[in-house]
Amino acid sequence: MHQGLTQTQALFSFQEWSILQAGTNTKETQGMTYCVGILLDAGIIFASDSRTHAGVDNFAKFCKMTVFDRPGDRVIVLLSSGNLAGTQAVISVLKQRGDAGDGKPNLWTARTMFDVAVIVSDAMRDIERRDGAYLEQNDLSFNASFILGGQIKGEPPRLFRIYAEGNFIEAGSETPFIQTGEAKYGKPIIDRVITPSTSLTEATKCVLVSFDSTMRSNLSVGMPIDLLCYERDSLQVSMRRRFDQGDSYFATLSKEWSEGTRAVFRQLPALQW
């Protein structure tokens, strides 16, 4: 167990990990979101959709990517999924504590990304303690979870998945990507393409194709798509882009991927009966 980590934070079951990778966590799929983080030798790719809903006819757009960066020192990225009120409350608490200057641990004073994960977890639990009883009165539960990644000067880039309960896991060389929400449609392409040695350029294309596949199969995941490509040891955000409806690059990528897939399919050998 890592020093400073509670037993609850350190322990997670194989079932939890399987649910994460399969995208079958019912609490999250009901939240209608898709977020992905990919840890590479060259850096980290972050992407999130912007669609939220409170019923089949009540859709809205909210950015689910939050960036805390201090050039030359740290880049911290949070991708949120779950109940919008819960995730926004956690983000607000993290910002307020970072601005307080009261000597308590915060995102700007954390020495490692592991410490950052603990700080985010603590904020989530504080919000749950505050709101949990009121939510239960209406048969609701606290549902806010995050993909957390980035780099603090002095250590390599790191990527975490923080569950609604506050416990978390860290991506590694054997499982270099983490998804939340409606993950099952975008997972196959990532599984086939991504390895730790994949370049940032190739990984970026792969992530966008995974979003295209997801949006084709589930209309509750939608644009805009927020994309951030962090280059290892740069300690600054220099590649960030939003893809909105009608974006020419995304439309071209989607068209060529579809045509290429059909072309490869036609070349597959026919079954001999």
Successive 10-residue mean pLDDT values, the chain, 273 residues: 40 37 38 87 95 56 92 97 86 94 92 97 90 73 88 98 92 92 90 95 96 86 92 97 94 95 94 93
DSSP labels, 187-205: HHHHHHH--TT--HHHHHH
Asked whether the beta carbons of 209 and 253 are under 8 A apart, the reply is: yes
* End-to-end CA separation in angstroms for the chain: 56
- The amino acid sitting at 80 is S
- The amino acid sitting at 52 is T
pTM of whole model > 0.85? no
- The amino acid sitting at 115 is D
Q: Residue 118 contacts by C-beta under 8 Å, 6 or more apart in sequence?
A: 4, 5, 9, 105
- The domains of the chain, with CATH numbers, are 7-264 (3.60.20.10)
- C-alpha–C-alpha distance, residues 90 and 148, integer Å: 13
Bridge partner list, 161: 147, 169
Tell the burial category of 240 from Cβ atoms under 10 Å away from its Cβ (0-12, 13-18, 19+). Answer: middle
Q: Which of 78, 82, 87 is nearest to 46 (CA)?
A: 78
| pLDDT score for 178 | 95
Max CA separation in the chain (angstroms)? 75
Site of tokens 């399969």: 22
Peptide bond into 157 cis (omega under 30): no
Q: Strand ranges (DSSP E) for the chain?
A: 34-40, 43-48, 51-53, 59-61, 65-70, 74-82, 144-152, 158-162, 168-170, 177-181, 225-231, 240-243
